């Protein structure tokens, strides 16, 4: 089945530690996204990538880093500089230019819930 | 810049009641409009979409019509079920250029009681 896989489902971070959230897609989509969702709030864009080896900061990139070395993968690292990392993290992908009018429809993974120990 | 405004929740309804969740937008050009649904503890799923004025998107008994004259895309369902309890997000994409980002509303929580 095609889709987006996020792992782990739950993650705990210790003080001063960097942690990496995995996002893999087998939809052959060009674009990928990372969002942060806090309780009772909407989605806030952290980083996005429209093509392999390229990515742009979103609205709340400070304390986070990403890479896009393969089309299928877009891992997010939450660094120790992110002082309030507890949140639900969502990864998404969209077809991109080849998708016609569907190019901007985003498909989501099941999310990773990150907590601080 | 582009923006989406949704009615605030939570919305609480009894089973079989009529649902309306309001969504209005501000955008240049001709955006595409979307409704996504998020069930508890899960990611978001596309519920329906409309890509041009007067289009009606529909899925699972939900409908929304792209109204350019009122810049609105209100979500409706004639008879809600307990299983419809979720958070609903309105979003737009501005199809100009290479912009791939979606602009999101803050979400509206719906609780349906039996």
Q: Select the residue of A42, A101, A111 nearest B43 (Cβ to Cβ).
A: A111
Please check the confidence at residue B16 and state whether its pLDDT lies above 80.
yes
pLDDT score, position A101: 66
d(CA B35, CA B85): 15
Give Cα B106 distance to the centre of its chain.
11
CB pair distance less than 8 Å for A104 and B42: no
CB pair distance less than 8 Å for B100 and A105: no
What tens digit of pLDDT does each residue of A78-106 get?
Answer: 999 998 999 999 999 998 766 666 778 89
Mean pLDDT, chain A, whole residue set: 92
* Smallest CA–CA distance from A51 into chain B, residue: B100
CB pair distance less than 8 Å for B43 and A90: yes
CB pair distance less than 8 Å for B100 and A107: no
CA distance B74 to chain A (A): 18
CA distance B12 to chain A (A): 16
Low-confidence ranges of chain A (pLDDT < 50): none
Closest alpha carbon to A74 in A27, A38, A42: A27
What tens digit of pLDDT does each residue of B70-88 get?
Answer: 999 999 999 999 999 999 9
Ranges assigned E (strand) in A16-105: 19-25, 31-37, 43-51, 54-57, 64-66, 76-78, 87-94
């Amino acid at each position: 089945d095609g889709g987006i896989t996020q792992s782990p489902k739950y993650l705990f971070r210790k003080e001063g530690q960097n942690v990496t959230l995995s996002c893999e897609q087998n939809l052959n989509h060009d674009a990928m996204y990372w969002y942060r969702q806090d309780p009772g709030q909407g989605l806030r864009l952290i980083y996005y990538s429209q093509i392999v080896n390229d990515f742009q900061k979103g609205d709340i990139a400070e304390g986070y880093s990403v890479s896009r070395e393969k089309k299928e993968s877009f891992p997010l690292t939450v660094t120790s500089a992110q002082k309030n990392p507890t949140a639900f993290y969502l990864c998404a992908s969209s077809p991109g230019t080849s998708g016609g009018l569907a190019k901007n429809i985003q498909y989501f993974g099941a999310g990773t819930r990150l907590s601080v120990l | 810049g582009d923006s989406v405004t949704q009615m605030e929740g939570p919305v609480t309804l009894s089973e079989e009641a009529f649902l309306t969740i309001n969504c209005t937008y501000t955008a240049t050009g001709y955006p595409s409009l979307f409704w996504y649904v998020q069930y508890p503890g899960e990611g978001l799923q596309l519920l329906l979409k409309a890509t041009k004025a007067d289009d009606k998107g529909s899925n699972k008994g939900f409908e929304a019509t792209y109204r350019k004259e009122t810049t609105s895309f209100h979500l409706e369902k004639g008879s809600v079920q307990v299983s419809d309890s979720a958070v609903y997000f309105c979003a737009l994409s501005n199809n100009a250029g290479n912009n791939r980002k979606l602009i999101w509303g803050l979400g509206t929580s719906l609780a349906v009681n039996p």
